[in-house]
Amino acid sequence: MRKYPVGIAMALAIIGAGAFLAQAADPPRAANLVYEITCHYCHDNGIGMVLKGAHLPPERIELAVRQGHASMPAFAPSYITDAELAALAQMLSQSAPPAAAPGTKP
């Protein structure tokens, strides 16, 4: 009778739990960094709606991030922590509209 599969499964579970706990212990990233890494490409280039200056309620932003909206994917807490999401939603809900690009009309 082989006991290796059970031992391997237990080892993987312990390693996975350790990685999860290590990630949970990392300090939250700044809201502007999360935006630049995760949101900027679509929301500042005409793919998704412009979020800066839209004054959306933080709760609406948090819901869209966790559940996805239209073509926007959902982002799990393992990608954007709850603390990071709360700070991001607060930042976006209070942000000013983006400046118009040079040579364009506002």
Cα–Cα distance for residue pair 98/94, rounded to 1 Å: 12
Q: Are 28 and 87 in contact (CB under 8 A)?
A: yes
Per-residue pLDDT of 2-53, as tens digits, reads: 555 554 555 455 555 444 544 556 899 999 999 999 999 999 999 999 999 9
Q: What is the pLDDT of residue 18?
A: 46
Cα–Cα distance for residue pair 79/39, rounded to 1 Å: 12
Percentage of the residues of the chain whose pLDDT score is greater than 90: 67
Q: What is the pTM of this model?
A: 0.71
Confidence of residue 68 (pLDDT cuts 50, 70, 90): very high
- Domain formed by 28-93, architecture: Orthogonal Bundle (1.10)
* Neighbouring-strand partners of residue 72: 69
